[in-house]
Amino acid sequence: MRTIDLAVTSLRDLNSELHRQKEGTNEGQWEVLNPRGQHAVAVGVDAPVKIAVRGPVGYYGGGMNKRAEITIHGSAGPGVAENMMSGSVVVKGDASQYAGATGRGGLLVIEGNASSRCGISMKGIDIVVRGNIGHMSAFMAQSGHLVVLGDAGDALGDSIYEAKLFVRGKVKSLGADCIEKEMRPEHHEQLTALLERAGIKDVKTSEFKRYGSARKLYNFNIDNADAY
């Protein structure tokens, strides 16, 4: 295992070393010590490596990830796993606002709570949150899945496109054009697979409700003007 201590090594040097890793690297295991809330820790990694960050990170931790498996043993600031393409990011603590924003693929798991705008403009990423999420989550979410084992705040799924939202707890309010939908057998299968990928085995899919787009905002219609 390659160990980098950010109390000694600069963040720039850490990310430069990670960016040098390619397919077939013999440095597949990384440990990052003393992140101390620094921003952009382990961003832009494009290699099938495993990275354990031992402590909290600031803005954009694990952002733009591609193929790496990143575990943050602490909480994460705004924009964790922002614009992730593939691989996985696991946050052992809480996450601040816009977690997983614009993500195009991969899996983001937040074992604590997530703040506002979780999954904003998601474009294929799968997000699983064990705790609660804040207001305006999944705003303009285009594709992918957002799974919440706790509660959701105001305006969930506002202006949503075709992302699928599964919430186990209470939803304070739904955003424009977001409605509750039927949980069909295929949705139970999808949710089961997502929970398994996130390492969650202690809940049943029957405890969740599904939310998605009513498809009234795709094209302007004067009858729906109040919803714009």
Q: What is the pLDDT of residue 217?
A: 80
Taking CA 122 as the corner, what is the angle to CA 116 and CA 127, rounded to the nearest 5 degrees? 70
Q: What is the pLDDT of residues 193-210, one digit of tens each?
A: 999 999 999 899 999 999
The domain total for the chain is 1
CA 85 to chain centre: 11
- Kindly give the parts of the chain with pLDDT less than 70: 219-220, 224-225, 227-228
Residue 59: which CATH number? 2.160.20.60
Q: What is the pLDDT of residue 86?
A: 98
Strands, sheet with 50-54, edge to edge from the N-terminal-most edge strand? 2-5, 29-33, 50-54, 69-72, 88-91, 107-110, 123-129, 143-148, 164-167, 209-213, 178-181
Q: What is the pLDDT of residue 105?
A: 98
Q: What is the pLDDT of residue 218?
A: 72
Q: pTM for the whole thing?
A: 0.95
Give me the domain span that covers residue 115.
2-227
